[in-house]
């Protein structure tokens, strides 16, 4: 199973409207992505909590439809 990167971005934007998102399809197979996500909503959260917010935005697709998403999260500079 795979997922379009546009769909990925849309779901993240829905949960984190201010997010700046850079997605890379690592193997061109729609199944192995890396994403760098910068959002003010991450302020004051631990890395684990930041990633959990992204996973929550993906509504269970991570680890299911989406095999690999290498995440980097940050707050706006």
Partner 1 sequence: MSDNPTFERINGEINDTDVVLFMKGTPMFPQCGFSAAIVGALSQMQVKFKGINVLEDMEIREGIKAFSDWPTIPQLYVKGEFVGGCDIVKEMYEAGELHKMFDDKSIDYQA
Verify binding: residue 60, partner 1, rule CB under 8 A: yes
User: For helices 5-15 and 47-57, what crossing angle results, to 10°?
Assistant: 110
Helices (H), 1-77: 5-15, 47-57
Q: Say if CB 65 and CB 33 are below 8 A apart.
A: no
Only one of the segments 8-16, 23-31, 37-45, 68-76 lies at the binding site for partner 1 (rule: CB under 8 A); that segment is 68-76
Among residues 6, 43, 48, 77, the one that binds partner 1 under rule CB under 8 A: 48
Interacting residues toward partner 1 by CB under 8 A:
47-48, 51-52, 55, 60, 62-64, 68, 70-72
């Amino acid at each position: 199973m795979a997922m379009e990167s546009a769909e990925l971005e849309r779901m993240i934007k829905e949960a984190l409207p201010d997010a700046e998102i850079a997605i890379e399809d690592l193997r061109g197979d729609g199944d192995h992505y890396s994403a760098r996500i910068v959002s003010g909503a991450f302020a004051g959260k631990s890395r684990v909590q930041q990633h959990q917010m992204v996973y929550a935005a993906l509504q269970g697709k991570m680890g299911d439809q989406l095999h690999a998403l290498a995440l980097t999260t940050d707050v706006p500079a």
